[in-house]
């Protein structure tokens, strides 16, 4: 029996498509597999089949996800399928049953285990990378690369993504460094096709070209500047149209937390999408879950409920986890008809809708507003269309006639999705762990194994091939060119010289003084020169053809020069050597490394994955030892905190910030550490101090000012994660501090902050 016939027609009541069978066959053959297939066609069934097969063989599986929320979601899902005794989860937040047959974790945790505790991976046959296109993420992509580079050679991977345009290149890289076959499974057709529209209230759903044409016609016909409110198209116009077209439920992306809530409230003033029975059911679920999560008295929970009973929801990172779960529960039950969400809702949470709307083609990336990439657009747009329910999915981008920038709109063809590009960079932790686990020669080899180097080598080959072909063409064209093309005998050159003579003669009329004599001599010399020229007998047609040949040769010559420059600028071997050398020097100056060996500071920092230099310096300067548990909690939430716009240092911080500021200043200005690698901001410190002392969350919010509840919870949880890292790093040599850190974590990890799985 072949492997293909061994794969059943149906799995979990679903008929397997050809691409699913192909992926399963390749996995059963012992290969790694990359699957690029649109949202909603059943990629996760491949992962489920692999997990079932591994469990039957007695193997273990790691399932990595890019965000904790997705890890938590998959954990609950797998517990329901396999039972809690067979499923574990390890994130910065929680550690449950970490030796289980199926272990969920963030990709960062997997990478950390590879550096610190590889024996923990014994018995792991496969690692599943969900949303593997995150390898191209500017901030976190290097974690995916390190995870693949340091994977044990016997381990296989399954990479899942809706969009990997250059999947073969990625597979070739993995195959090269892991020395086993990596199969690529592509499926481009969606289960439910998408229709893409640009919506403007005067034109209705159309395309960008039609909206631009209409705008120009209005300006020319009515001679108006389009600044008035009459020309504004709002989300209310779009939702009204979508509802009329029976396009609900609708997922409406807004790239601003505040605007998510404002727009939901604006819609709530005008509409209710639920029947009386549905509204009552939504109310009951809100009441039940709010009581269960202990958030019934919170203003934000009450506000969210007032809209949810109308079938309107909003979802963003600033919400309490409990509120998000209530919204997701109702959305999954079909009781939320319009959901306003930031792009975080597009990652992993599999709630298909009939329509997807975008409030704008531009998004805020944490620094500035910029156009969506085509990849981002399709990741979000892919939620439209419910398999087995809808004939098509509809995607709309709202256009504003008053401020229309055509260049900001994404392409609506999947062929134009950007290829994955390596974002590999070396963190200080990476450099420390490379020195901890490898000698200098091995480090040099490892630094040439990243995807960036592989892509650079491919680019160089590509440019060299183009250069070879174009140079050959250039040589052929050059041989065909007229030898007299730059000589006065050429009629074309002769005409140019005659024009030059006439220009000098015209200027001569206006020249006075001694200069006339010199110019007159130049004119006479040029006249005599031209009079002696024996012109070639070339007709107009021949001259035209000659000009075309020269133009073609000139353009190709410029292209060859450009290719030569591009090719020469591509560094392959040793492209990260300078960065490694710089960071190594800094680590040596800080007494973390000496001659490739880790010193005590280095041994400690090797186990810290968040602001490793700052945390290590705080530890070795005795700051953690001096503070009581509540002060220590106040300090730790300030590490790696990135303030949002308008956040300032609070007054009356419950610890002395001067020693910390001195450490930060020394790292940045004395040793040359980048400011992002020594980030400290005590926005949450006063709140963490009160919480650590036993304050209730309701009372805490009275002092929170503009800080959002979700940010507070995330900040506290990040602090608990850092405390756990420090505790692990100092447990053997500093048990007294380790005990204090355990007390700190217990004070923080309670009530609404505690993760409930």
Can you say how many angstroms the Cα of residue 77 is from the centroid of all Cα atoms in its chain?
A: 25
Q: What is the CATH number of the domain that holds 211?
A: 3.40.50.300
The bridge status of strand 393-398 relative to strand 194-200 is parallel
Averaged pLDDT for residues 238-263: 94
Q: What is the DSSP letter of 101?
A: S
Last residue of a domain, one of 186, 211, 235: 186
Q: Which residues contact 81 (CB under 8 A, 6 or more apart)?
A: 48
- Each residue's pLDDT tens digit, 68-99: 778 888 888 889 888 889 999 988 778 889 88
Q: Is 19 in the same domain as 137?
A: yes
Is pLDDT above 70 for 115? yes
Q: Contact at 8 Å (CB) between 691 and 753? A: yes
* 109 and 205 share one domain: no
Q: CB neighbours (10 Å) of residue 388?
A: 8
Whether 22 and 170 map to the same domain: the answer is: yes
**pLDDT tens for residues 730-751?**
988 899 999 999 999 999 999 9
The predicted pLDDT at position 347 comes to 67
**Residues in CB range of 165: below 8 A, 6 or more apart:** 36, 417, 418, 419, 420
How much of the chain exceeds pLDDT 90, in percent? 54
- Quote the radius of gyration of the chain (alpha carbons, Å): 33
Q: What share of the chain is helix, strand, coil (3-state, %, to 5)?
A: 55, 10, 35
Please report where in the chains the tokens 């970490």 appear, as a residue.
98
pLDDT for res 4: 52
Residue 421 to residue 135: CA distance in whole angstroms: 8
Q: Is the pLDDT of residue 366 over 80?
A: no
Question: Are 179 and 245 found together in one domain?
Answer: no
Domain co-membership, 292 together with 178: no
Q: Looking at the domain assignment, is residue 599 inside a domain?
A: no
Q: Is the pLDDT of residue 357 over 80?
A: yes
Q: What is the dihedral of CA 707, 709, 711, 715, to 10 degrees?
A: 100
**What mean pLDDT do residues 500-525 have?**
79
Closest to 133 (Cα-Cα) out of 417, 459, 415: 417
Clarify whether residues 285 and 317 are in a common domain.
Answer: yes
pLDDT at residue 625 in the model? 95
Q: Is the pLDDT of residue 517 over 70?
A: yes
Do 181 and 255 belong together in one domain? no
At 616-629, the pLDDT tens digits run 999 999 999 999 99
Digit-coded pLDDT (tens) for 387-431: 888 899 999 999 988 888 888 999 988 888 889 999 999 999 999
Q: What are phi and psi of 26, to 5 degrees?
A: -65, -40
Q: Are the beta carbons of 341 and 316 closer than 8 angstroms?
A: yes
Residue 730 confidence (pLDDT): 93
Once rounded to an integer, what is the mean pLDDT over residues 10-26? 90
pLDDT band at 228 (very low <50, low <70, confident <90, very high): low
Q: Is residue 555 part of a domain?
A: no
Question: Could you tell me if residue 323 is inside a domain?
Answer: yes
Tokens coding 247: 């396009």
DSSP output for 1-66: --HHHHS-SEETTEEPPHHHHHHHHHHHTT-EEEEE--TTS-HHHHHHHHHHHHHHHT-EEEEEES
Residue 473 lies in a domain: no
Q: Residue 695 maps to which CATH number?
A: 1.10.3380.30
For 334, the domain range is 194-416
Identify whether residues 656 and 701 lie together within a single domain: yes
Return the biggest CA–CA distance within the chain. Answer: 104
Q: Report whether pLDDT(656) > 90.
A: yes
Q: Is residue 64 part of a domain?
A: yes
Please tell me whether residues 81 and 220 are part of one structural domain. no
Query: 20 with 87: CB under 8 angstroms?
Result: no
Mean pLDDT computed over 466-486: 82
325-356 residue pLDDT tens? 899 999 989 999 999 999 877 665 667 789 99
Whether residue 37 is predicted with pLDDT greater than 70 in this model: the reply is yes
713 or 476, which is more confident? 713
Which of 298-312, 376-390, 404-418 ranks highest by mean pLDDT? 298-312
Does 30 fall in a domain? yes
End residue of a domain, out of 416, 446, 466 = 416
Q: What is the pLDDT of residue 349?
A: 61
- Where a domain ends, among 358, 385, 416? 416
Q: Does residue 661 lie within any of the structural domains?
A: yes
In the chain, the number of structural domains is 3
User: What residues have CB less than 8 Å from 317, skipping those under 6 apart?
Assistant: 257, 342, 344, 710, 711, 714
What is the average pLDDT value for the chain, to the nearest integer? 89
Are 178 and 217 members of one domain? Answer: no
| Contacting residues for 102 by C-beta, under 8 A, at least 6 apart | 51, 55, 60, 61, 63, 78, 82, 86, 87, 88
- Comparing C-alpha atoms, which of 297, 111, 351 is closest to residue 709? 297
**Does 242 score more than 80 pLDDT?**
yes
Q: What is the pTM of this model?
A: 0.86
pLDDT confidence of residue 1: 40
Residue 131 and residue 67 in contact, taking contact as beta carbons nearer than 8 Å: no
| 181 and 98 share one domain | yes
Spatial CB neighbours of 646, under 8 Å, sequence gap ≥ 6: 706
Question: What is the torsional sign of CA 634, 637, 641, 644?
Answer: negative
- Please report the sign of the dihedral spanned by the C-alpha atoms of residue 583, residue 585, residue 590, residue 591: positive
Query: Domain check: are 156 and 9 in the same one?
Result: yes
Q: What is the DSSP letter of 133?
A: G
């Amino acid at each position: 029996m072949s492997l293909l016939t061994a794969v059943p027609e149906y799995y979990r009541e679903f008929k397997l498509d050809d691409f699913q069978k192909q992926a399963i066959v390749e996995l059963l053959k012992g290969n790694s597999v990359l699957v690029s297939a649109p949202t909603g066609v059943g990629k996760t069934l491949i992962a489920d089949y692999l997990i079932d097969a591994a469990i039957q063989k007695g193997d273990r599986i790691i399932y990595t996800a890019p965000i904790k929320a997705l890890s938590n979601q998959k954990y609950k899902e797998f517990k329901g399928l396999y039972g809690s005794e067979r499923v574990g989860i390890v994130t910065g937040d929680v550690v449950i049953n970490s030796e289980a047959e199926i272990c969920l974790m963030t990709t960062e945790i997997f990478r950390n285990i590879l550096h610190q505790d590889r024996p923990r991976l014994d018995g792991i046959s496969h690692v599943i990378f969900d949303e593997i296109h995150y390898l191209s993420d500017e901030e976190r992509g290097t974690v995916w690369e390190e995870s693949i580079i340091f994977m044990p050679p016997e381990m296989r991977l399954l990479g899942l993504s809706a969009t990997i345009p250059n999947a073969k290149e990625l597979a070739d890289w993995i195959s090269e460094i892991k020395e086993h076959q990596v199969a690529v499974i592509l499926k481009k057709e969606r289960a439910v096709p998408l229709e893409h529209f640009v919506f403007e209230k005067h034109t209705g759903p159309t395309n960008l070209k039609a909206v631009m044409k209409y705008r120009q016609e209005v300006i020319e016909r009515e001679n108006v500047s389009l600044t008035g409110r009459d020309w504004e198209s709002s989300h209310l116009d779009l939702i009204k149209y979508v509802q009329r077209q029976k396009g609900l439920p609708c997922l409406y992306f807004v790239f601003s937390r505040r605007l998510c809530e404002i727009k939901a409230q604006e819609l709530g003033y005008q509409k209710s999408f639920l029947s009386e029975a549905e509204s009552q059911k939504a109310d009951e679920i809100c009441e039940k879950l709010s009581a269960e999560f202990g958030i019934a008295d919170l203003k934000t929970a009450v506000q969210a409920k007032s809209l949810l009973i109308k079938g309107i929801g909003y979802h963003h990172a600033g919400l309490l986890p409990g509120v998000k779960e209530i919204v997701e529960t109702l959305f999954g039950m079909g009781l939320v008809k319009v959901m306003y969400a930031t792009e975080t809702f597009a990652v992993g949470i599999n709630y298909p809708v009939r329509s997807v709307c975008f409030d704008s083609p531009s998004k805020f990336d944490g620094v500035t507003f910029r156009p969506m990439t085509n990849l981002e657009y399709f990741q979000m747009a892919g939620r439209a269309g419910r398999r087995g329910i809808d004939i098509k999915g509809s995607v709309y981008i709202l256009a504003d006639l008053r401020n229309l920038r055509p260049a900001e709109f994404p392409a609506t063809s999947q062929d134009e999705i950007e290829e994955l590009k390596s974002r590999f960079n070396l963190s200080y932790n990476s450099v420390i762990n490379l020195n901890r686990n490898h000698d200098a020669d091995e480090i040099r080899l490892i630094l040439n194994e990243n995807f960036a180097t592989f892509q650079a080598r491919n680019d160089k080959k590509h440019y060299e091939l183009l250069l070879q072909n174009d140079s050959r063409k250039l040589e052929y064209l050059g041989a065909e060119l007229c030898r007299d093309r730059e000589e006065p005998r050429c009629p074309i050159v002769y005409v140019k010289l005659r024009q030059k003579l006439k220009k000098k003669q015209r200027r001569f009329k206006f020249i006075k003084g001694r200069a006339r004599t010199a110019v007159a001599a130049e004119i006479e010399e040029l006249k005599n020169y031209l009079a002696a020229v024996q012109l070639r007998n070339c007709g107009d047609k021949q001259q035209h053809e000659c000009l075309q040949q020269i133009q073609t040769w000139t353009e190709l010559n410029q292209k060859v020069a450009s290719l030569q420059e591009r090719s020469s600028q591509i560094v392959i071997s040793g492209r990260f050597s300078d960065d490694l050398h710089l960071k190594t020097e800094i680590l040596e100056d800080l007494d973390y490394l000496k001659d490739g060996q880790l010193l005590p500071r280095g041994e400690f920092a090797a186990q810290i994955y968040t602001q490793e230099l700052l945390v290590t310096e705080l530890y070795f300067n005795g700051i953690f030892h001096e503070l009581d548990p509540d002060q220590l909690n106040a300090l730790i939430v300030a590490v790696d905190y990135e303030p949002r716009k308008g956040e300032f240092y609070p007054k009356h911080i419950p610890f002395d910030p001067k020693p910390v500021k001195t450490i930060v200043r020394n790292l940045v200005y004395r040793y040359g550490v980048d400011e992002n690698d020594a980030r400290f901001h005590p926005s949450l410190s006063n709140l963490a101090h009160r919480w650590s002392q036993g304050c209730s969350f309701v009372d805490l919010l009275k002092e929170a000012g503009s800080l959002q509840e979700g940010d507070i919870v995330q900040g506290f949880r990040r602090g608990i994660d850092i405390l756990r890292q420090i505790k692990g790093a100092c447990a053997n040599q500093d048990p007294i501090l380790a005990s204090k850190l355990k007390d700190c974590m217990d004070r923080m990890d309670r009530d609404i902050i505690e993760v409930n799985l």
